[in-house]
């Protein structure tokens, strides 16, 4: 097997193993055994488990962000929210192992792969919300807060749906957008907590 083909084989085996067992539960020995190579072959290509994990995560991050970017083709904020939610659910359905790698615990110092993806998606959502806030006369400085809230809602629901797979992804996306959009369409310009619900000082 050529070096590039061996590298791709090791990445595919590692992706499956990290998805099943997580970073801490995976060893170079196990990856080598599953790939039917010796441990030094893994070290030669990636320098060790952390290097191999970084390559797998980088590919998954790129794949998910590309999928979401390609999906955002609408010209109305509601359509864009629908497209983003469906893109994430499509990724979970079609690349389950990749999503499992992203949401599992990552090694200390890796920056948290899934949180990095969410921050990038939230940044894209922020620019959409910024335009919507301007048109409604809301404080655009709060677009970042709302984008984080929206993306977090979709991401946590996606993690839940990863295992249950019911209802269908289109139904899940419709309900997410229902909650997000109908809430957004009736935002208070200056929301506040109801009296008595504030934490004690």
Rounded to the nearest 10°, the torsion over CA 170, 121, 76, 93 is: -20
Around Cβ 42, how many Cβ atoms within 10 Å?
Answer: 23
> Is 119 or 31 the better-scoring residue by pLDDT?
31
Residue 169, domain member (yes or no): yes
Burial of residue 93, with CB atoms counted within 10 A of its CB: 0-12 exposed, 13-18 middle, 19 or more buried: middle
Rounded to the nearest 10°, the torsion over CA 46, 20, 165, 116 is: -40
Residue 21, domain member (yes or no): no
Residue 147, domain member (yes or no): yes
In this prediction, residues 43-67 reach a mean pLDDT of 92
Give the model's pLDDT for residue 201. 47
Give the model's pLDDT for residue 25. 94
Residue 105, domain member (yes or no): yes
Give the model's pLDDT for residue 23. 92
Residue 14, domain member (yes or no): no
Q: 141: which 2 tokens?
A: 């400085």
How far, in Å, CA of 29 to CA of 193, rounded? 54
> Is 48 or 110 the better-scoring residue by pLDDT?
48
Residue 194, domain member (yes or no): no
Residue 171, domain member (yes or no): yes
CA atoms in the 13 A half-sphere facing the CB of 11: 17
CATH number at residue 103: 1.10.357.10
Q: Average pLDDT over the chain, rounded to whole? A: 86
Domains in the chain, number: 1
Under 8 Å between Cβ of 154 and 114: no
Q: What percent of the chain has pLDDT over 70?
A: 91
CA atoms in the 13 A half-sphere facing the CB of 60: 34
Q: What is the pLDDT of residues 102-152, one digit of tens each?
A: 887 666 555 556 777 788 888 878 888 888 888 888 899 998 998 899 888
| Owning domain of residue 180 | 57-185
Give the model's pLDDT for residue 112. 56
In this prediction, residues 5-18 reach a mean pLDDT of 97
Residue 34, domain member (yes or no): no
pLDDT surpasses 80 at 154: yes
């Amino acid at each position: 097997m050529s070096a590039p083909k061996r590298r791709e084989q090791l990445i595919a085996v590692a992706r499956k193993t990290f998805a099943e067992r997580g970073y801490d539960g995976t060893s170079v020995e196990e990856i080598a055994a599953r790939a039917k190579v010796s441990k030094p072959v893994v070290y030669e290509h990636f320098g060790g488990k952390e290097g191999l994990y970084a390559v797998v995560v980088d590919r998954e991050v790129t794949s998910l962000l590309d999928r979401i970017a390609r999906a955002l083709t609408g010209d109305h904020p509601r359509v864009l929210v629908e497209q983003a939610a469906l893109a994430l659910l499509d990724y979970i359905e079609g690349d389950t192992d990749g999503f499992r790698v992203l949401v599992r615990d990552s090694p200390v110092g890796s920056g948290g792969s899934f949180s990095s993806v969410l921050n990038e998606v939230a940044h894209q959502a922020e620019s959409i919300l910024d335009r919507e806030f301007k048109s409604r006369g809301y404080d655009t400085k709060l677009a970042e807060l709302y984008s984080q809230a929206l993306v977090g809602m979709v991401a946590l629901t996606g993690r839940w749906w990863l295992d249950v797979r019911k209802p269908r992804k289109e139904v899940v996306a419709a309900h997410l957008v229902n909650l997000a959009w109908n809430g957004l369409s009736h935002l208070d310009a200056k929301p506040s907590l109801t009296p008595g619900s504030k934490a004690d000082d």
